[in-house]
Amino acid sequence: MNKKIEILLKDIGYKGFKKKNYMKENSKVLLHTCCAPCASGVILKLKYHYKTEVISYFYNPNIYPEKEYKRRYRELLKLSEFFDFKVMEGEYNPEFWFKKTEKLKDEPEGGRRCYICYSLRLLKTAQKAKELNIPYFTTTLTVSPHMNHKIINRIGKTLEKKTGVKFVEENFKKENGYLYSVRISKKLNIYRQHYCGCLYSIPSDISDKSEDL
């Protein structure tokens, strides 16, 4: 661990995590990454606590508008430079996402539309992990206090059975995971977005300004 990481950990009050034996030591995991702020706390746990090689997979066709998508991707690259992990960008195909979710556009945030969105992104991650012969996959989504970790983990375990790639079942917000992500973002001046990502999740007070996001 280099000096800059040690200083950061001290600054954020890092106290470590409890050890779990769900991955082989010195293994590799493909991490579905929704954004840099969420990734920061998860990277801390996977790379520096479990000593796992992390490859970030930025697959988020839900993010709207494209300007916002590009901004979040740039912030992830900034984080990857600091923490030294690889980033892979998946296809950005919002038309595909809208087609899959259009019948549920009136669903409340956190409802069935979100479950489809989780499934689409996790399926693509599991498939990519299998293609690259990476033994594990997981997601940053559960670090957010706004996400239902039980639903996300259930989807992940179902995809594990379908693809044969092991899913790291976690609730990354626990043990100060979310708190660390907030503190790291502030220390590294990482942009923290004001909505989950899709058009339907944009708050009404900024929806009219979507082109300026």
Is the pTM value of this prediction over 0.85? yes
CATH of 26-212, one of 3.30.70.580, 3.40.50.300, 3.30.9.80, 3.40.50.620: 3.40.50.620
Q: What is the DSSP string of 182-197?
A: HHHHHHHT----SS-S
182 vs 190: CA distance, rounded Å: 9
pLDDT at 177 over 90: yes
For the chain, report the end-to-end CA distance as a whole number of angstroms.
36
Q: What is the mean pLDDT of the chain?
A: 93
pLDDT (tens digit, 9 = 90+) per residue, 189-206?
Answer: 999 999 999 999 998 776
**Closest alpha carbon to 120 in 145, 103, 139:** 139
Q: What percent of the chain has pLDDT over 70?
A: 96
pLDDT (tens digit, 9 = 90+) per residue, 92-106?
Answer: 999 999 999 999 988
Spell out the residues 6+ positions from residue 116 whose beta carbon is closer than 8 angstroms to its own.
100, 101, 104
156 vs 146: CA distance, rounded Å: 18
Report which of residues 48 and 22 the model is more confident about: 48
Domain residues of the chain, as ranges?
26-212
Across 153-180, b (16+ Cβ under 10 Å) vs e yields bebbeebbeebebbbbbbebbebbbbeb
pLDDT (tens digit, 9 = 90+) per residue, 45-84?
Answer: 999 999 999 999 999 999 999 999 999 999 999 999 999 9
